[in-house]
Structure 1
């Protein structure tokens, strides 16, 4: 099969080449991939650490070419959204059936390819905060792929949504259009305590966001784009009346159960136009180096989608 292979001598660290066809285990379906979306983490870290010749790629959408031998998962011919720790940047992918979401017939698979890491992470982070109806949620790094989905999902769940972005003047209209009630430049500008935080930045912003939590509030550390550590000043973690029972939690997406159901539900929402996939770059896999360069240069907010095998 053809695939995008790690090659540090090539532009963007990738080249089109060939790799062996995957051999699915009994609990895996073989999926013919038509689109993948790039994630900053896999581009920034995977290309630096994976051996040359590796096929990376967490996200992929396509059509089931061969159903799982054990009878689990969708049937042959079903359009699907898939998540695995690698293998998405290739024409064929073997996928655990628990990590496959069935998509509606005729859906834009390029749009659905944005779902696995970005939308599923946003959904699970909001689940971790708890019931959202009538509560307030702060999303930091709100213009990125996960952030855009988090704003939309929190608004749909009945929360008052506060979106934090480095440039409210440039991004305010976009974020309000996605459902944000307020757009601010940093968590320090929050007008009142919030019940939950989806933090996608880490570093000093995580500390600021934690300090914006109401008693009983939860901050879910979901992304770490700042590349900085967190330094909590003495007293920040005191539990007096105004700071009672606040928590910081994290999660590993592939450690979650029930992801196939989440992926299918999200696929139907995107296909119906209820969720905006936030695609800001779209092209053929021949142009992968351009998308990688834009991601690493922080010039691309939202999602980059590659057409596979065209």
Structure 2
């Protein structure tokens, strides 16, 4: 089958090549992939994987063969999926890591959801956000734009932080009550921080955290170390916390929740770049350059009518 595989000599360490057909385990289904989504972190770390590896985690398509154990959707179902080896014509994926796509949702939009949407949803669920101040750094990216929408739906006061004025577009319409460059103008404590940036800004953001608040470490787009001054982590009152995030266990039900919100028009897919998958090098470069606001989706199966470019 054709697949996007790791090649250290290719631009972005990715090329369209061939790979063996996947063999589903007992609790896995076989998916005919129609669309895939790229996440910036996947592009950043591609060169560190062995040559020939089928990369990627986000896909949407049609179930070719249901899981042998009887779990999950039946053959012919339209599903979004999260699992290793997604950037290929076919993937084997756990039945617990897929969700059926409502008829009103385009499969290309559904492909944008899994990694970024699940990350946003699950990090927001770590705290009661109703009426709370939630700071989202790197808010113009894929996780950030979903997090802004979901936090607003959850009743939070949403502060969206971006790296430059050019990256601020559309965030207020998605539900951000305040849009700031860096942390300029954030002069009141916040209850929850979803941090996609890391580096010096993370250390600065920590000083804004209210007693009992938490930081969820999602990404480290800055590529720089975070240096905390001596005793700067000490706080009088209720404990503050800083947590890692990587919980992608059995994402199917949460993915179904996100797809339902999308079907209801309450969650925008935020697909800013769409192209055939043989143009992966251009998409990867655009993600690295941060010229994409939101998500990049590539078509494995060409649509009858070309999608927006």
TM tier, smaller: over 0.9
Aligned partner (choices 175, 179, 184) of residue 183 of structure 1: 179
Kindly state the Cα deviation for residue 124 of structure 1 after the two structures are TM-superposed. 0.8
Aligned positions of 1:104-115 closer than 5 A: 104-115=102-113
Which residue of 1 is the match for residue 128 of structure 2? 131
Kindly state the Cα deviation for residue 188 of structure 1 after the two structures are TM-superposed. 5.2
Deviations 1:115-151 (A, max 9, x none): 11111000111011x1111111000010000000000
**Alignment pair present for 1:19 and 2:11:** no
Query: What secondary structure sits across from 1:253 in the alignment?
Result: coil
Q: What number of residue pairs does the alignment pair up? A: 302
- Structure 2 length normalisation: TM-score? 0.93
Contact 2:273 2:292 in 1 (8 A): yes
**Residue ranges of structure 2 left out of the alignment (5+ in a row):** 303-309
Aligned positions of 1:185-204 closer than 5 A: 185-187=181-183, 189-204=185-200
**Alignment pair present for 1:211 and 2:207:** yes
Which residue of 1 is the match for residue 158 of structure 2? 161
**Alignment pair present for 1:252 and 2:246:** yes
Kindly state the Cα deviation for residue 280 of structure 1 after the two structures are TM-superposed. 1.3
Which residue of 2 is the match for residue 80 of structure 1? 79
Contact 2:140 2:168 in 1 (8 A): no
Aligned positions of 1:60-75 closer than 5 A: 60-75=59-74
Kindly state the Cα deviation for residue 272 of structure 1 after the two structures are TM-superposed. 3.0
Q: CA RMSD in A?
A: 1.5
Q: Distance in 2 between matches of 1:133 and 1:142?
A: 19
Query: What secondary structure sits across from 2:71 in the alignment?
Result: coil
**Alignment pair present for 1:141 and 2:138:** yes
- Structure 1 length normalisation: TM-score? 0.93
Q: Distance in 2 between matches of 1:219 and 1:5?
A: 34
Contact 1:111 1:277 in 2 (8 A): yes
Query: What secondary structure sits across from 1:187 in the alignment?
Result: coil
More helix by share: 1
Which residue of 2 is the match for residue 116 of structure 1? 114
Query: What secondary structure sits across from 1:68 in the alignment?
Result: coil
Deviations 1:71-102 (A, max 9, x none): 11111111111111x21111110001111112
Q: Distance in 1 between matches of 2:203 and 2:150?
A: 24
